């Protein structure tokens, strides 16, 4: 229908059918592939040929298949599975013939490798696996890329097959450039990540340093506040002590004054008492004199009866003496009153 050549696998000749399906005809036979395998160097230097099965029934190495494609002018490039994003640009290449694929398969207690090919023809993609009874068609490029990415996770190996050497050189150059760009981009990303990490570390260090400075400032401020408070308390205590001392000194002065005033009062009281005693004695003297005077008067009256003139002279002299004594007593009373007044004023 589509004019697609699809050679199915026989025995272990999956590599032979994969190459012929890419070339879209039976270009090689098993005998030709065996001869090609025998012509290649035996790198392992074993008794059996490294490049094919010792029974000559297939199981060809990648070197045999690549050489077979190169002999008809095709170029084969190994695809780096670490760069799966390159598949998007590869499938768009107009000179791309297809893919030569090797899939690892585990059977019982041993592992085998199966070769098959995918062909690009008329902008369509065909899976020409020799194990399939009929080839399959991929819907689009995205469907193909999805299939390849899935198989890459299952140890799929991809070889890119181009139609001519010029195109492969260009593609290799582009791939190298792309790889270099990717490498530079990755290095830039790594450097940027390193710079970001360093900046983050610096930010953390700055935050820690700021926190440390804030803590130190807070501690210093607390110390300053404590010092100021202690100074204020010391000043207040000093002022209180000074005030207490001043009050005590004032109290001492007042007590001294009170003692002095008390002594003055006591001295004045003693003076008053002495004066009172003296006044009392004076009054007693006056009473005694008056009594004496009465006695004298009585005697005088009796004498007058005997001799009038001599008695009158004696009486006059006695009257003068009594008046002098009364004046002296009045003067003493005035002095006592003045002294008492002075004492009262000093107590106030």
Q: Are strands 156-162 and 136-138 parallel, antiparallel or unpaired?
A: unpaired
Instruction: Specify whether 203 is catalytic.
Output: no
Burial of 314 (0-12, 13-18, 19+ CB in 10 A): middle
In whole angstroms, how large is the CA radius of gyration of the chain? Answer: 73
Q: How far apart are CA 263 and CA 250, in angstroms?
A: 19
Q: Which residues pair with 160 in a beta bridge?
A: 77, 99
Instruction: Specify whether 114 is catalytic.
Output: yes
Candidate list 27, 93, 113, 114, residue with the active-site label: 114
Q: Coil, helix or strand for 124? A: strand
CB-based contacts of 92: which residues, under 8 Å, 6+ apart?
A: 141
DSSP code of residue 84: G
CB 115 within 8 A of CB 18: yes
Instruction: Specify whether 304 is catalytic.
Output: no
Q: How many CB atoms lie within 10 A of CB 347?
A: 11
Q: How far apart are CA 338 and CA 236, in angstroms?
A: 52
Candidate list 6, 51, 86, 129, residue with the active-site label: 129
Q: Please give the positions annotated as active site.
A: 14, 114, 129
């Amino acid at each position: 229908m589509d004019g697609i050549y699809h050679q199915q696998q026989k025995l272990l000749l999956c590599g032979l059918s994969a190459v012929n399906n890419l070339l879209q005809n039976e270009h090689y036979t098993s005998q030709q592939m065996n001869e090609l395998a025998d012509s290649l160097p035996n790198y392992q230097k074993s008794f059996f040929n490294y490049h094919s099965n010792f029974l000559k029934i297939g199981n060809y190495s990648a070197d045999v298949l690549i050489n077979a494609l190169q002999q008809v002018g095709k170029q084969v490039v190994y695809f780096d599975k670490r760069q799966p994003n390159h598949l998007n640009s590869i499938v768009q290449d107009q000179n791309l013939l297809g893919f030569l694929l090797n899939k690892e398969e585990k059977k019982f207690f041993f592992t085998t490798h199966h070769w098959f090919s995918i062909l690009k023809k008329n902008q369509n993609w065909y899976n020409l696996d020799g194990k399939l009874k009929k080839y399959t068609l991929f819907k689009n490029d995205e469907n193909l890329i999805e299939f390849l990415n899935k198989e890459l996770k299952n140890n799929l190996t991809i070889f890119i097959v181009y139609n001519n050497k010029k195109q492969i050189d260009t593609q290799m150059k582009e791939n190298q450039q792309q790889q270099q760009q990717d490498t530079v981009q990755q290095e830039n990303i790594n450097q940027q990540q390193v710079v970001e990490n360093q900046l983050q570390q610096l930010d953390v260090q700055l935050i820690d340093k700021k926190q440390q400075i804030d803590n130190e400032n807070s501690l210093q401020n607390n110390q300053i506040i404590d010092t100021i408070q202690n100074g204020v308390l010391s000043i207040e205590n000093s002022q209180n002590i000074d005030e207490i001392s001043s009050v005590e000194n004032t109290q001492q002065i007042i007590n001294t004054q009170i003692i002095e005033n008390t002594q003055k009062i006591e001295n004045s009281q003693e003076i008053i008492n002495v004066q009172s005693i003296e006044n009392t004695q004076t009054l007693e003297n006056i009473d005694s004199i008056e009594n004496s005077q009465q006695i004298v008067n009585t005697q005088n009256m009796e004498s007058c009866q005997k001799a009038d003139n001599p008695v009158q002279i004696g009486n006059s002299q006695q009257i003068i003496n009594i008046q002098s004594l009364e004046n002296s007593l009045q003067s003493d009373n005035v002095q006592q009153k003045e002294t008492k007044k002075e004492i009262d004023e000093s107590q106030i």
